[in-house]
Amino acid sequence: MEHFDASLSTYFKALLGPRDTRVKGWFLLDNYIPTFICSTIYLLIVWLGPKYMKNRQPLACRKILVVYNLGLTLLSLYMFCELVTGVWEGQYNFFCQGTRSAGEADMKIIRVLWWYYFSKLIEFMDTFFFILRKNNHQITVLHVYHHASMLNIWWFVMNWVPCGHYSVCADNHPDHLRGHLAMFVPSWLVIFPNRIHDFPDYSLHKLLHSDLQQAGSLPAERAPEGPPERVPDCRQRTHQQLFIPGKQCEAEEATEGLRSKSCKPPHHVV
């Protein structure tokens, strides 16, 4: 394994040049093998997980989802604040910024970008929760490609360009933060299924309500009591729509559309 890692390091150095020495010894960054193994295990779970869960009941995972989404929301908020303050302190140029141009501000950016890289490993859990809850329709090719590639891409970023202009690439955390908030709020709501009925009949309520009914957390909706409301006959509605003051219009059948068979002007008495 050490020989293989040395061969990889020699190849990467010949292809990309020397690594940035400021991240030497940092967790998961010294060699590429752990990152590659984690990505491979992720892909194996994506392949085998749905097969394992095929004949098993889906797991709710509600409480752990709340903790997971809250943790990632707070981590994203921390990274966003650190990136913004680091870029401000280093007076970064958003068009072209070197990796050794801002002194201590560069180290602040490097530290927070390591957390950004590590968060890609944590976010493998997104797919694992889909598998455990049997939401396999959410495991798309784009979803798997994104999660499997980001950890590897940022390993190379952290070893060769761990600050500078790449801080601008990672500084899109308003979207990242909104994404985890959008996941956190519904997962908090499903902890209290009885409170969902207090919400107006918006699409989010419908989505959560149907999901909980399928999971057996909510009783099925009862049919309305009393006789159903009488709906006007199609012929009645047709005559009402075709009636025009001053004319006598006749409609043959409502199934033939809203076409009148004949329209005759009224006879005037001489």
Q: Which is catalytic among the residues 3, 137, 146, 197?
A: 146
Token duo for residue 84: 């913004």
Instruction: Give every CB contact of residue 145 below 8 A, 6+ residues apart in sequence.
Output: none
Give the separation between CA 247 and CA 238, rounded to whole angstroms.
15
Q: What is the DSSP letter of 171?
A: -
Identity of residue 90: G
3-state secondary structure of 177: helix
CA 183 to each of CA 47, 49, 50: distance values in angstroms, whole numbers, following the listed order: 24, 22, 22
- Rounded to 5°, the CA angle 43-59-56 comes to 80
Spatial CB neighbours of 176, under 8 Å, sequence gap ≥ 6? 76, 80
Angle separating helix axes 141-160 and 2-16, nearest 10 degrees? 80
Q: What is the CA radius of gyration of the chain?
A: 31
d(CA 250, CA 242): 8
Q: Could you say which DSSP state residue 94 is in?
A: S
Q: Give the whole-angstrom CA distance, residue 106 versus residue 15.
A: 25
Contact 107, 25 (CB under 8 A): no
Q: Is 146 assigned a catalytic role?
A: yes
Find the farthest-apart pair of alpha carbons in the chain and give their distance in angstroms, rounded: 114
Amino acid at 164: G
Residues carrying an active site annotation: 146
